[in-house]
């Protein structure tokens, strides 16, 4: 009898330990200080894809036949994978994203899953990480879509989905982030600035410009004038974005600001609408972007002030406005960009190929840039430096400018439709050490007047024969060159 009681005691202890251990592994779905919900009226809803398009299964399945999305509530997952905490939204049957994130960020190397086969309607949200553990994986296999009503955006936001102050964050998967930006694009046809290089096109025949489309007042009332970025990273260290598709953003698709050490690969940005950048870099360093397909209405990649040690390779760009450094120096601002390498890029049907653009009146410098092995097809301006950039109808003349030095173009080949080379540098701050090597660009008529290479106040060297002949680049140094030490940028 006593032995039997002892076995019962041992069994009870084992059960108690298992129950206690299970409670530790469980995500509790409590909101903590690690999340922040941006302005908006809701956080997230989800929709199960499949034959039943009436919504999710359950007692409330047919409650609202016109609303396929049901609110997420308070259920979490209890899985443990090796020593990782895995928080799967599929198991939740309705927990809000920010509550899921609050639990995921408590455990190092945790995984938060957006499952395939599901569609989630998510309002503006910031996944804030000052107190989060390192190396969180955000596994995106399903679809996240943005709201299209004004109540969700308030008076306007700069971003929709934001990750801030995280270390070692990875976002990967085969899923999609869909900004559903068409409600902004119709309005933006009237008020978006025009890229300066569009003014250089001269049609072969007189073209009747259609009248601006009429935008109803109801549209003005629905959406704010500020168009958000789809996915923004701010103040992060060692971020990786892999495999996902970002599409239909109201404005910029993917933005990195004040980040150090991040990689973007096998990412797709698919949209052809006005003024929508693909990847936007600002105040960031040690950047690697490769194996990406970028199609947008503006720059495929835009590199702004404060960027250094940026390496872009094996990228497809088009349609869009090419890969650009700038614009820099607007409204007299100082800009510093250095050590930028762009190589092994294919561009098709873009306005510019590889471009540097600065405003008059700015200061600072761009130094150490290499554009190498660029294949262009039906590109209007394959090689472009424009130090007179202006996206208004007219701009004031200024003597100062962001200084450009040590800019190399090598092995740039393919076809152009307007002008092969356009290098227009500042009178007071000429471009120096511009190197052109193995340039072979052939005309392909496409409805515009075509002209030969143009250079202004550009000094440097030609290496190997070029097609067409580029005889406008001035060899050597200008009589009055600028001193890099006086640019205000760190060496």
How remote is the C-alpha of 129 from its chain's centroid? 20
Q: Looking at 277-402, which runs of residues are DSSP E strands?
A: 279-282, 285-295, 301-303, 308-317, 323-328, 334-348, 352-358, 363-379, 381-386
CA distance 232 to 252: 9
- Among residues 349, 417, 410, 409, the alpha carbon closest in space to that of 384 is found at 409
CA distance 452 to 248: 37
Which H or E run contains 410? strand 403-416
Q: Which of 79, 321, 348, 392 is catalytic?
A: 321
Quick one: tokens of 391? 């996206």
Quick one: tokens of 176? 């999609």
Query: Residue 226: which residues within 8 A CB-CB, separation 6 or more?
Result: 155, 156, 157, 158
Q: What are phi and psi of 93, to 5 degrees?
A: 55, 30
User: Does 413 sit behind a cis peptide bond, omega within 30 degrees of 0 on the bond before it?
Assistant: no
Task: Name the one residue in this structure whose structure tokens are 């143009």.
Answer: 454
Tell me how far apart the 2 most distant CA atoms of the chain are, in Å.
106
Query: Residue 352: which residues within 8 A CB-CB, separation 6 or more?
Result: 197, 321, 322, 324, 379, 380, 381, 382, 384
> How many other β-carbons are positioned within 10 Å of the β-carbon of residue 449?
11
Query: Residue 386: which residues within 8 A CB-CB, separation 6 or more?
Result: 196, 197, 355, 356, 357, 358, 422, 424
Between the CA of residue 71 and those of 43, 78, 275, what are the distances in Å? 9, 21, 33
Q: What are phi and psi of 142, to 5 degrees?
A: -90, -155
- H/E/C letters for each residue in 416-465? ECCCCEEEECCCCCCEEEEEEEEEEEEECCCCECCCCCEEECEEEEEECC
Quick one: tokens of 336? 């510093």
- Among residues 341, 322, 279, the alpha carbon closest in space to that of 304 is found at 279
The question of whether 321 is a catalytic residue gets the answer yes
Could you give the residue numbers annotated as active site? Answer: 321
């Amino acid at each position: 009898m006593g032995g039997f009681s002892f076995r019962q005691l041992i069994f009870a202890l084992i059960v108690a330990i298992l129950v206690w251990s299970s409670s530790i592994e469980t995500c509790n779905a409590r909101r903590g200080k690690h999340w922040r919900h941006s302005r908006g009226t809701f956080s997230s809803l989800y929709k199960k894809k499949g034959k039943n398009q009436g919504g999710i299964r359950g007692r409330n399945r047919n409650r609202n036949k016109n609303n396929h999305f049901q609110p997420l509530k308070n259920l979490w997952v209890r899985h443990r994978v090796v020593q990782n905490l895995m928080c799967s939204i599929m198991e939740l049957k309705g927990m809000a994203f920010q509550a899921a994130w609050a639990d995921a960020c408590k455990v190092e190397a945790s995984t938060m899953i957006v499952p395939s086969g599901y569609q989630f309607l998510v309002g503006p949200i910031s996944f804030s990480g000052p107190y989060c553990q390192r190396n969180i994986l955000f596994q995106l296999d399903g679809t996240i879509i943005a709201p299209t009503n004004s109540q969700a955006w308030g008076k306007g936001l700069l971003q929709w989905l934001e990750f801030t102050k995280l270390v070692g964050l990875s976002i990967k998967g085969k899923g999609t982030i869909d900004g559903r930006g068409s409600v902004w694009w119709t309005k933006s046809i009237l008020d978006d600035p025009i890229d300066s290089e569009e003014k250089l096109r001269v049609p072969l025949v007189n073209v009747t410009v259609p009248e601006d489309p009429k935008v109803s007042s109801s549209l003005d009332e629905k959406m704010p004038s500020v168009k958000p970025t789809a996915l923004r990273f701010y103040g992060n260290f060692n971020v990786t974005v892999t495999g996902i598709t970002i599409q239909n953003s109201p404005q910029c698709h993917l933005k990195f600001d004040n980040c150090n050490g991040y990689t973007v690969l096998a990412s797709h940005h698919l949209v052809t609408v006005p003024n929508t950048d693909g990847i936007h870099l600002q105040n960031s360093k040690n950047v690697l972007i490769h194996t990406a397909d970028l199609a947008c209405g503006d720059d495929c990649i835009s590199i702004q002030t404060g960027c250094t040690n940026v390496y872009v390779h094996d990228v497809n760009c088009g349609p869009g406005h090419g890969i650009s450094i700038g614009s820099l120096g607007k409204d007299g601002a100082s800009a510093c960009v250095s050590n930028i390498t762009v190589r092994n890029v294919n561009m098709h049907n873009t306005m510019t190929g590889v471009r540097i653009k600065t405003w008059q009146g700015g200061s600072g410098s761009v130094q150490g840039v290499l554009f190498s092995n660029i294949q262009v097809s039906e590109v209007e301006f394959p090689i472009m430096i424009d130090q007179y950039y202006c996206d208004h109808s007219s701009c004031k003349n200024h003597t100062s400018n962001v200084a450009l030095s040590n800019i190399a173009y090598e092995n740039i080949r393919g076809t152009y439709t307007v002008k092969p080379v356009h290098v227009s540098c500042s009178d007071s701050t000429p471009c120096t050490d511009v190197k052109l090597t193995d340039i072979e660009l052939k005309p392909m008529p496409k409805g515009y007047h075509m002209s030969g290479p143009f250079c202004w106040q550009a000094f440097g060297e030609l290496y190997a024969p070029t097609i067409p002949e580029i005889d406008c680049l001035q060899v050597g140094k200008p009589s009055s060159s600028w001193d890099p030490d006086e640019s205000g940028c760190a060496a």
